[in-house]
Structures are given as C-alpha cells and as structure tokens.
Amino acid sequence: MSETAAVLELRNLRKLFPAGRSGIWARTSEFVHALDGVDLRLEKGEILALAGESGCGKSTLALTLMGLEKPTQGTIWFEGEDVTRQSRAGRQRLCRQIQMVFQDPYESLNPLMTIGEIVAEPLDVHRLAQNREERRGRVEKALEEAGLKPAHIFMNRLPHELSGGQRQRVVIAAALVLEPEVLLADEPVSMLDVSIRAEILNLLAELRERRGISVLLITHDLATSAYLADRVAVMYLGRIVELGETQAVLESPAHPYTQALLSVIPVPNPRKRRERIILQGQPPNPVHVPAGCRFHPRCPKVMERCRVEDPVLAAVGAGSHQAACWLVSGGGSDE
C-alpha cells in the first residue's frame, strides 16, 4: 500500500476559528483549534475512513481540502502539487478533481431545481459539455452510475419528490459528472434510514472498484468504516491519533481513545465482547487544548509523561499501523 502514490497529502494542517461570535466588547484572542496539525495521506484508489467524535474537526478537514475554508497553517498536496493557496482558476480546476458529498441530503439540493438541472450544473459551470446531447448524455450516465435507473424518469423531478437515499444519490451523481479523482464523503449516511445506509456505502465501494476513485469517508462510528474502508484514521481534537489498516486498527487498537471507541460498539460474538471503557473527565474543548497529550485528561492509562509531552504518530509493530501515544512510542506495551 505504501508504494502507491498519494493523491492527497496533508502536512501539519491547522485551522483556527475565532472562538465565540465576538461583538464589539469581546475582543477575542481565543481560538477554536478545529484542526491542530493534521498529517494524512490518501492513497490512490483507497477508501480511508476518518472517524472521531462530534466536533473533533472532521467536517472542517473536508471543507479545507475543498478549498472552502482557508487553512491557517500547513500544506495540502494534490498529486504532487502544492494546492494550499490557489488562484481562483486553480481552485476551479481543483474542484473538478476533488468533490464532496454532504451529510444532509435533505438540505444539500436546491429545492427549486430539477434533478436534471442539479446534475448538469457542474457541467455548465465548468463548460464541459459541447452541446445539449452530450450534456444530457453525461447527466444520465452519472445518474445511472449513482444508481438512479432509469435516469430519464428522474430528470424532471424536484428534490422533494425523492427519498433521502435517492437524494444522496443525486448529490453523488452531481459529484460524479465531473469525474473527480477524490470523493470526500462527510458522514454520507448518518441522516439516512438504517435500511438504506448499506446501499449508499456499497455504492461508494462500487465507484472505487469501477473508477478507481479515492474516497475519504468521514464517519463518527467505527463500525461503518470497518464495513468498507481499507484504512482507518482516528481523529481526536483536531489531530490524527491513530492510523492503520482497518483490520489492524479494529483488532488491536493501540491508542486508548480508539480502544474506548471500539469498546462501546456492540459485538455480535458474545465471547469476543470487550470490557466497556467509559471515558471519564471533561468532554474535549477545542478552545483550550490540554497540554501534553491532548487525550490525557480522559485517558484511563494516563502516565506522568502524558501531562507534559505531546506524543507524535509512531509505528505500532511492523506494518503501517501508527498511533500517537506514549504507550506506543515510549516502549510500553499496548495492553
């Protein structure tokens, strides 16, 4: 896996938001550390799951990759090219390569536009279709590829006539018409009915098979990622704390935070059931990131060193499995 080229690479990416809607009186010098030094590679044709609890910065990461938020610091590389600070034309070119699927399919479609118009819009904006026939052909192809078959019956419908799952397929189709290299899927199924979640996830897996698209699958539950991801990245308070092949991370999590996350997922086999780890302490506050290891106030295995020194990602065992924890890099065992 590590020999393949990275489509997308982030180095030390930081994004700060001014904390609190400051009025005239609140001169703010405090910041929300939404992204606090993210290093991540998305390999060509892989599905990388990015997991973490609410507010840890997953959406901010996606929006920053899309160029919709400006990173405070750090660099983004797309196919070996630094795309962090782009001219408008550069960003325009980039967004043909990187597309995004949003969390809420009920809100991400303009209620007044027909499905045909919605899917054709990216083509119009980027002037990709020479004539009406080509335009229509590409729109229908994208719709069918996103699983809306036969495409022509959807063309003139309005979003409110479609189910949530179908709407999410429309969003995916509108991303696919641009034939992107990378798809950022920000919790694409969390607003959907449980019964259709698997269908949408299967669609993503299928697209990867057929088109070789790389997918960054943002999720807040690790069980989803286990379903189709090649690799998993676990994020905590704006930083990646564990990273590795799905099986390695899920079966032998090295970071206490990952262990806690996994321990609360119900396991079908009762003999394999792990002891539940309930995290203690304050919920994380991205304004005041703890000194030392950012997880130490809630960590059940906290040591003296964790309160002072910030651990970086270090190899766990032989593979590409990495974790940012002193238990790993400090020579301690992970159990």
Partner 1 sequence: MSAVTTTSFGTIWRSARRNWMALAGLSMLAAAVIVAVFAPLIAPYDPKADLKVSIDDIYAPPSAAHWLGTDDAGRDVLSNFIYGARVSLIVGFFASFISVFIGGTIGITAGYFGGRVENILMRITDIMLVIPDLPLAVVLVALTKPSLMNIILVIGLLGWTGTARLVRSQTLSVKERKFVLRAKAIGCGHFHILRRHIFPLVLPLLVANTVLVISLAILEESTLSFLGLADPTTLSWGQMLNFAFTRGGVSAGAWWALIMPGLGIVWVVLGCTLLGQGLEQVLNPRLEWHHLSVGPKMVARGAKEERP
Query: Could you list the residues that contact ligand ATP (CB under 6 A)?
Result: 17, 32, 34, 52, 54-60, 220, 286
Q: How far is the CB of 158 from Mg ion (least distance, A)?
A: 27
Q: How far is the CB of 222 from ligand ATP (least distance, A)?
A: 13
Judged by beta carbon distances under 5 to 8 A according to partner kind, the member of Mg ion, partner 1, ligand ATP, none in contact with residue 104 is: partner 1
Judged by beta carbon distances under 5 to 8 A according to partner kind, the member of Mg ion, partner 1, ligand ATP, none in contact with residue 122 is: partner 1
The C-alpha atoms of residue 114 and residue 154 are separated, in whole angstroms, by 8
Residues 6+ apart with CB under 8 A from 33: 14, 16, 237, 238, 286, 287, 289
Q: How far is the CB of 109 from partner 1 (least distance, A)?
A: 6
Beta-sheet pairing, 182-186 with 98-101: parallel
Q: Which two tokens stand for residue 265?
A: 């997922």
Query: By CB under 8 A, is residue 179 in contact with partner 1?
Result: no
Site of tokens 């299967």: 202
Burial of 88 (0-12, 13-18, 19+ CB in 10 A): exposed
Residue whose CB is less far from ligand ATP, 48 or 123: 48
Contacting Mg ion (CB under 5 A), which of 16, 32, 47, 59? 59
CA atoms within 13 A on the CB side of 278: 1
Query: By CB under 8 A, is residue 114 in contact with partner 1?
Result: yes
Residue whose CB is less far from partner 1, 122 or 290: 122
Q: Which two tokens stand for residue 316?
A: 């766990």
Q: Which two tokens stand for residue 91?
A: 């960003």
Judged by beta carbon distances under 5 to 8 A according to partner kind, the member of ligand ATP, partner 1, Mg ion, none in contact with residue 64 is: none
Q: How many residues bind partner 1 (CB under 8 A)?
A: 27
Contact between 65 and 8 under an 8 Å Cβ cutoff? The reply is yes
Q: How far is the CB of 162 from Mg ion (least distance, A)?
A: 23
- Nearest residue to 216 via CA among 45, 92, 56: 45
Interacting positions 132-171 with partner 1 (CB under 8 A) = 158, 171
Give, as one character, the DSSP assignment of residue 174. H
Q: List interacting residues with partner 1 (CB under 8 A).
A: 66, 68, 91-92, 95-96, 99-100, 102, 104, 107-114, 117, 121-122, 125-126, 158, 171, 174, 178
